[in-house]
Amino acid sequence: MQNETEKSTEKTAIKIQAKNVGVSYSGMVALKDVQIDITERKVTALIGPSGCGKTTFLRTMNRMNDIIEGCEVTGEILLDGEDIYDTQVDPVVLRRRVGMVFQKPNPFPKSIFDNVAYGPKIHGLADKKDELEYIVEKSLKRAGLFDEVKDRLNAPGTSLSGGQQQRLCIARAIAVSPEVILMDEPCSALDPIATARIEELIDEIKERYTIVMVTHSMQQAARVSQQTAFFHLGELVEQGETETIFTNPRDPRTEAYVTGRIG
């Protein structure tokens, strides 16, 4: 567990810092020269037109790109000042600290309980059964799902609705107490009501976690994020306070995008 007492001086600390990050898929450049600072315990939104490299960049931050054949990452990504692409770094340890929620809800075909308990189990976070139950309950509560599923924790995770499944995936990610949660368009497969529910949830949990969220909806970025980064054609065009990006963008491409002229 990280220290949950908040110190006001650390509020603007930088959690992740990307330096000259470039990504190529089998030689095809998808992302080049990305410089970005991700602020701790804030929601950073990554926006941009389809295919501009948002997902690609998000996946560099917990080395999910490692499992894609032919994917090559250059530059540095520092998590608390340590380069995560250093040869010393174990992706298993990294991914415990930097969790991920995917575009399409992907619960394991196991029970709701087992879905949430899986992470703590493999990382040995609970020695006894009641400890595990406590973690599962706490995670489900944080993900705002507990009341809906408390009577059927043994039902398959896949039997839930799409929005519930996505909150289950968030609970599953929370259960290993990560410091950062990466979310790749977590609402793109959901209806407006489920989307609102997830947005609320993100707003609640941002006190505890640093959240980086890809979204194709500018309204969503405006609603839930404090920082926004705009990507275009494999480049990071502009980043800053969400309000500044939407009301007073510096780059004409950003302006064109947020006003709906490209995208």
Partner 1 sequence: MYNPMYKSEKKPDNTASKLSTGSLPGVAKRHRSERMFKATGLIAIAGGLLFLLFVLVSIGISGIGAFKKTYINLPVPSTIMQQVLDSGIDDADYYSLNRKALRERFPDISGRRDKRALYRLVSAIAEFEMKDQVVELAPTTNAPITIKFTASDDVDMYIKGTVDVAESGAAGRLNAKQVDLVNTLKQAGAIEVGFNWGFFTNSDSRDPELAGIKGAFMGSLFTLLVCLVLSFVVGVMSAIYLEEFARKNKFTSFIEVNINNLAAVPSIVYGLLGLAIFLGFFGMPRSASLVGGLTLALMTLPTIIIASRISLQSVPLSIREAAYGLGATQVQMVFHHVFPLALPGMLTGTIIGMARALGETAPLLMIGMVAFIADAPSNIMDPATTLPVQVYLWADSPERAFMEKTSGAILVLIATLIAFNLVAVVLRKKFEKRW
Burial of 185 (0-12, 13-18, 19+ CB in 10 A): buried
Span 4-33, contacts to partner 1 by CB under 8 A: none
CB of 225 to partner 1, least distance (A): 21
Torsion of CA 25, 31, 36, 39, to 10 degrees: -50
| DSSP code for 65 | G
Q: Which of 216, 227, 204 is nearest to 16 (CA)?
A: 227
Token pair belonging to 234: 């494999």
Interaction pattern, residues 155-174, with partner 1; x per rule: CB under 8 A? -x-x----------x--xx-
Span 73-92, contacts to partner 1 by CB under 8 A: 92
Span 41-100, contacts to ligand ADP by CB under 6 A: 48, 50-56, 68
Q: Can you tell me which residue has the tokens 């929620």?
A: 101
CB of 59 to Mg ion, least distance (A): 9
CB of 55 to Mg ion, least distance (A): 3
The kind and range of the H/E element at 193 are helix 192-205
d(CA 25, CA 125): 36
CB of 10 to Mg ion, least distance (A): 31
For residue 242, state whether it binds Mg ion (rule: CB under 5 A).
Answer: no
User: Segment contacting partner 1 (CB under 8 A): 41-49, 98-106, 127-135, 137-145?
Assistant: 98-106
The single-letter code of the amino acid at 222 is: A
Q: Which of 10, 139, 4, 21 is nearest to 85 (CA)?
A: 21
CA atoms within 13 A on the CB side of 119: 26
Span 190-229, contacts to partner 1 by CB under 8 A: none
CB of 85 to ligand ADP, least distance (A): 18
Residue 198 binds: one of Mg ion, partner 1, ligand ADP, none (C-beta under 5 to 8 A by kind): none
Interaction pattern, residues 115-154, with ligand ADP; x per rule: CB under 6 A? ----------------------------------------
Token pair belonging to 29: 């450049």
Span 43-82, contacts to Mg ion by CB under 5 A: 55
CB of 185 to partner 1, least distance (A): 14
d(CA 197, CA 130): 29
d(CA 45, CA 261): 20
Interaction pattern, residues 108-127, with partner 1; x per rule: CB under 8 A? xx--------xx--xx----
Residue 169 binds: one of partner 1, Mg ion, ligand ADP, none (C-beta under 5 to 8 A by kind): partner 1
The kind and range of the H/E element at 254 are helix 252-258
Q: Which residues are at the interface with Mg ion (CB under 5 A)? A: 55
**Which residues are near ligand ADP by CB under 6 A?**
25, 30, 48, 50-56, 68
